Amino acid sequence: MSRELTYLFDDWLVVTQQLTLKIRQEVPQSWMWGTVHHNETIKRLCQALEDIWYLDGQDGRATRHHIGVVKVSPAIMRMVVRSNDLKARFHQHLLELKKNKPELWPETSARLVKRSSHVQGALEKEGMVRLHLKQFSRSLPVVTEVPKKITFNWYSSGRSIKRVTRDQVLEKLFKLGLEKTHIRLEYQRVASLPEHEPLAQVQQQAPLIRANLRYNSDAREAFNVAMPIFMPTDDTFAFPDITQPPDTPPKQRQRAVRSDQKLDLEPFVSSLRVHRYR
């Protein structure tokens, strides 16, 4: 299982090196957020494809955005599809390894860092130390035709909602320490609830960027995006009209609160972000 991860990573390295070389040779029509000159755009595009390592001092939960659009030849598109397939298979093997033999992952991770002399040189130069799994697992978005327009917007209203029981919340509060006054008060509030009342733990998700695509047929498509969007070349030099996102995400919620909101707006247990259902 560990060996399969190494083989998949090696294959991905080879494909990515071939992909970046082909892009530099063909210099396809492209746009990257934050660039002005085409040479800089191609450079940033290739860097995005190889950006899979932690940086010194980086928050492990954070990932870097590489927002872009590129029209590519069939040969490049085949490499992109191959890269996505290898990443998906790597991710599946990694899940199996961590489930069945988690003790092997640290050694495997260290071995992956040393697999390529090219990568190793970059590691020593930039101070990178280990594979960033979230960055590595992100697939490259592919669309089958050239859109008429692409609008990029920040989306900062996302959240995950996990249903929890009263007893689960009590256990979490107990672990936080009942000697703390505010924890003890919250514990008492939760203990006063009916035993089977459902509760919800809410986690605000980090802001992300969403791409809204509109085609000549007026068909529309939308998806979250963190990597450059790849599309095939056609008989024209037409390139999508691009509306780029603001430099930073909005500080306040953009979407109006739904009238059928099922949770109380204010948390019932602030320390755990637990809400009651209405």
Q: Which helix (H) or strand (E) holds 48?
A: helix 38-49
pTM of the predicted model as reported, rounded to 2 decimal places: 0.75
| Residue 2: predicted pLDDT | 75
What integer best gives the mean pLDDT of the chain? 85
- Residue 222: phi and psi, rounded to 5, are -145, 140
User: Looking at the chain, which residues constitute the CATH 3.30.54.10 domain(s)?
Assistant: 159-204+252-276
| Residue 108: predicted pLDDT | 79
DSSP secondary structure code for residue 169 in this structure: H
- Residue 121: phi and psi, rounded to 5, are -60, -40
User: Looking at the chain, which residues constitute the CATH 3.50.14.10 domain(s)?
Assistant: 2-143
Give the torsion sign (CA, 79, 149, 44, 56).
negative
Whether residue 255 has pLDDT greater than 90? no
The CATH number assigned to the domain with range 2-143 reads 3.50.14.10
Q: State the Cα–Cα distance between residues 153 and 176, nearest whole angstrom.
A: 38
The CATH number assigned to the domain with range 159-204+252-276 reads 3.30.54.10
Query: Which of 131-140, 143-152, 188-197 holds the top average pLDDT?
Result: 143-152
| Residue 260: predicted pLDDT | 37
| Residue 254: predicted pLDDT | 52
Q: State the Cα–Cα distance between residues 84 and 138, nearest whole angstrom.
A: 8
Angle between helices 105-113 and 2-26 (to 10 degrees): 30
Whether residue 261 has pLDDT greater than 60? no
Mean pLDDT of 136-159: 89
